Structures are given as structure tokens and as C-alpha cells.
Amino acid sequence: MVLMIPIMVFLIMIILMLAVYYSLTAGHRQVSRRMDLYVEQRPANNGAAVPGQAGKRSTELTGWRAAVRWFSHYFESFQWSRRMEHKMIQAGIPLRGSEFITLCVGLVIIGAMLPFVLSGGKAFLAITGGITGYLLPVMLLRVKIARRAKAFNGQLGDALVLIANSLRTGYSFMQAMEMVAREMLPPVSEEFGRVLKEMNLGVATEQAMNNLAKRVDSDDLDLVVTAVLIQRQVGGNLAEVLDSIAGTIRERVKIKGQIRTLTAQGRISGLLISILPVALGVVLYAMNPGYITVLFTHPLGKMLLLAAVVSQLTGIFIVRKIVNIDV
């Protein structure tokens, strides 16, 4: 009963804070809903927007996505939400930054409450579960961004060749990008298609290309954008420049593949060294739980366990620095 009083006070304070925040951000949400009517339109009947279809996607959201969208309004004005919006675009995930934050908060609450209830009120397990619930989606997001950037870099050379050949046949630069958006696969087609949309909305070509470089965060793409912007200012044969850059990118991809092959043994060794202590601990616990439990209960065992974790993380970091070679 004594524990329930602070919990109830905390919940009441949270509800009051959410109510005040909801009233202060009503204007911002109204603007966001009006923007959704345009952003979420889908072409039909040969590209013409069907009347009454705009915003239909938002109104038809059901289940968990509808709940996430409703709770996400409380985080829309946060600066962190704007940064996560950029991360969502980089990862190609069709979520708003505020929705991702809502999912993170939900996983933190679930990850903290579930071990707390199952363990009978152990705060350490609750804190560990909450941290895990936060780190899990963030780590998955980083992996998604890295994989999408790698896929983009792998397609960039072919995209540049296609643009160069289109320019030689008499196409304009905008038509050449439209060719890439139409003929190639994601993520290159998606990113160049987004550039075309920005230009059609009145954004300058230079700004649209700079936005592309910020979204993808690729050294190869930075080189392409720099070459295109310089050519637009001083002139020159853009097709030849893009062919030269495409050849350089293909050589870099080839060298990276060779390096990855040569360092495969080191990477596999690092992976095995990382997994081996954990796997051995699980086997020992399955064979003789009383023998391994001393490591987690005795003060000396806890110190040794902490030292082992620090040493393990240090070894993983050193191995990664050795096998990761910048080209």
C-alpha cells in the first residue's frame, strides 16, 4: 500500500503534464495534419489525385499503428524527434521520428516493468530491462541505416553510368535522374525520386542535391554532388566527369571486396572469441548451476565478471579497428 501512493502520484503527474503539453501543441498538430493531406496522397487514374483520397491513409490506420500515431503527437515538437526523423529517412523506414520515439518509450516501459514484476520487485533487473528496451530499436535502426547506405553505394556506380549515357543521348540532367528513379531498384531509385519531388516543389537543384548527400551520408555520393555542383557553376562535360567518378567508385568497391575477403579470418576469429565465453557459461549453467552461480553471487566473482566484460569489449574494439580498413 505504501508503494502504491508514490506510483499513483507519479501517474497523476504524468497525466497532467501530457494534458498541458497536448493543449500547448494543438496548433502544431493541426499544421501536421494539413501537411499529411498533401504528403500522403497517392496517384491514381494516370497520375491524377483522386478527390477524397488525400489523408485516407491516416484515417484508416488501425491497431498498434493507430495507437502509436496517437501517442506520437506528444513528441512531435521535441528536437530529438526531428533528429530521429532524419534517421528514419536514412533507414528507409516509413515511420515518423515521433512514432519511433513512442515505440522506444513503450519498449522501455515494457522492458522495465516485465522483469520488475517477474522478479518480485528487483530494481536492478528493471533498470537493465529498460536500458535493453531502449538500445534494441536504436541498434536495429543503425544496422538498417548501414545496410541501406551499403546498398546505395553498390548501386551508385551503375546509376552514374545511366545518367552519363542519358546525358550523351540529349537528355537533361533532371530527365537523366528521372530515368534512374524509374529504371533502377531501391534505394537509389527512392533517393533520386525524392530529389525530383523536391525540385518539382520548387527547391533549387543545388539544395536538392545537398539534401540527398545529407540523407545518404556517403563519401562517394559527396564526390558526385560536388562534381555536379561545380559543373553547374563553371560548365564542362558532365557525362565524362560522371564516367570517371563511376570508374573510381567501382574500383573502390572492388578493393573493399578484396579487403573483406582477406580480413574474413580475423573477423570470424573476433566473432568466435566474443561468443565463446557466453556459450561456455550457458553450458556450465546447464550442467551444474550451483558451480557457476558462485561467479554471480560472490564479491570476487562479480569483480572478475566485470573485468571479463571490460576485457571482452576491449578485445572486440581492437579486432574491429584492425579489420576495418578505410579505402
| pLDDT recorded at residue 93 | 83
For 82-134, the pLDDT digits (tens) are 778 888 888 888 888 778 888 888 888 888 888 777 777 777 777 888 888 88
My answer on whether 155 and 240 are in the same domain is yes
My answer on whether 225 and 275 are in the same domain is no
How many domains would you assign to the chain? 2
My answer on whether 260 and 319 are in the same domain is yes
Answer whether residue 104 is part of any domain: no
My answer on whether 162 and 241 are in the same domain is yes
My answer on whether 229 and 184 are in the same domain is yes
For 235-290, the pLDDT digits (tens) are 778 888 888 888 888 888 888 888 888 888 877 877 887 888 888 888 888 888 88
Average pLDDT, the chain: 78
My answer on whether 219 and 156 are in the same domain is yes
Answer whether residue 197 is part of any domain: yes
Task: Give 327's pLDDT tier (boundaries 50, 70, 90).
Answer: low
Which domain, by its residues, includes 287?
256-323
49 membership: H or E segment, kind and range: strand 48-49
Cell 561468443 locates to 275
Instruction: Report the percent of the chain where pLDDT is more than 70.
Output: 76
Answer whether residue 76 is part of any domain: no
Cell of 199: 525540385
My answer on whether 153 and 236 are in the same domain is yes
Residues 6 or more apart in contact with residue 112 via CB below 8 angstroms? 126, 127, 129, 130, 133
Answer whether residue 140 is part of any domain: no
Answer whether residue 220 is part of any domain: yes
Q: Is the model's pLDDT at 201 over the cut of 50?
A: yes
How far is residue 248's CA from residue 246's CA, in Å, rounded to a whole number?
5
pTM over 0.85: no
My answer on whether 157 and 245 are in the same domain is yes
| pLDDT recorded at residue 50 | 41
> Which of 223, 251, 279 represents a domain boundary (last residue)?
251
Answer whether residue 290 is part of any domain: yes
- The phi, psi pair for 324, rounded to 5°, reads -90, 105
Answer whether residue 229 is part of any domain: yes
> Which of 227, 251, 275 represents a domain boundary (last residue)?
251
Whether 319 and 312 have beta carbons less than 8 Å apart is answered as no
> Which of 251, 275, 294 represents a domain boundary (last residue)?
251
